[in-house]
Amino acid sequence: MSEMPLLSDLDLASLLCSRVCHDIISPVGAITNGLEVLDDEDDEAMKEIALDLIRRSAKTASAKLQFCRMAFGASGSAGAYLDLTEAEQVARGFIGDEKVKLLWDTPKETRPKSEVKLLLNLLLIAVSGIPRGGEVTIRMADDQFSATATGEGAKLPEKPASLLQGEVAEADIDPRLVQVYYAARVARELGYAIDLKLENSALTVVAHRAGGEASQADPEHEDTAREV
C-alpha cells in the first residue's frame, strides 16, 4: 500500500470550500428560481408552487450548511467536545427521509470534535455506496466508528477506495474526492485508519485504531438503533 498524498493546507481549504459550495448551490439556485416566479407570475396556483419550492429548498440548504459546519468546520462550539445527540439531528436533517433511512446507534454523550467529524464523514462515504438509496446504520464504540450502508445496487466506491489505499495522485484529488481525503486526515490525526468492505449488498466503512483490525458489528445492536 502506498502513502496517501499530502495536500497543502491551502489546497485542502480550497477544495473543501468548493465541496461545500457544490453541496448548497442547487437548493440556493432553486430558491432564486422560486423568487423569480413570484416576481413574474400572477397566477395564484403558480405562486403557491413557487413558495413551496422556496420553503423546501431553504430547508435543504440550511440542513446541508449545518452538516458541513459540523463535519468540516469549527461548529461554533466553545469547547473541544460535541454532543452526539446534536450530531444525530444534524445528520438526519442532511440525509432527509426520502431516499435513505438513517439508523443511529451511539451513546448519548459528548465526544471530542474530531471524533464526531470523523463519524459524520464516514456517513458521507457510506451514502456514496448506495446510489439507489437504502439504509445507513451509524455506530460508535470506544475504539471503533462505523457506517454500514445497505441497499439495492450497493457498491464499493472505486475512487474513495483507491484514495484510502494510497493509489490516487495528489493532482487527482478534486472537490468530490476531497471529503474522503479529509476523513482520512482526521482519522490519522486520531490514530485511526479507515477500511471499506463490501459484502452481501452492504458497504461498511470502519475507522479503527491504526495497526489493529476492525471488529465485526454486533448484530444485537440492530434492535437498539434509532430509526427515522
- For residue range 110-121, what is the model confidence (pLDDT) as tens digits? 999 999 999 999
Say if residue 53's pLDDT is above 60: yes
For the segment 29-35, the average pLDDT, to the nearest whole number, is 95
Cα four-point dihedral sign 173, 174, 177, 180: positive
Cα four-point dihedral sign 46, 48, 53, 58: positive
Nearest by Cα to 148 from 217, 204, 220, 228: 204
Say if residue 222's pLDDT is above 50: no
Count CB neighbours of 137 within 10 A: 23
DSSP H or E stretch at residue 56: helix 44-72
At 146-205, the pLDDT tens digits run 999 999 999 999 999 999 999 999 999 999 999 999 999 999 999 999 999 999 889 999
Task: Assign 189 to helix, strand or coil.
Answer: helix
pLDDT class of 52 with cuts at 50, 70, 90: very high
All domains in the chain, ordered by first residue: 9-227 (3.30.565.10)
Say if residue 39's pLDDT is above 70: yes
Cβ contact 105:141 at 8 Å: no
pLDDT value of position 4:
86
Chain mean pLDDT for the chain? 89
Nearest by Cα to 148 from 210, 215, 197, 85: 197
Say if residue 131's pLDDT is above 80: yes
Count CB neighbours of 177 within 10 A: 18
pLDDT value of position 224:
40
Cβ contact 15:172 at 8 Å: no
At 55-90, the pLDDT tens digits run 999 999 999 999 999 999 876 555 689 999 999 999
Say if residue 227's pLDDT is above 60: no
Strand partners, 119: none
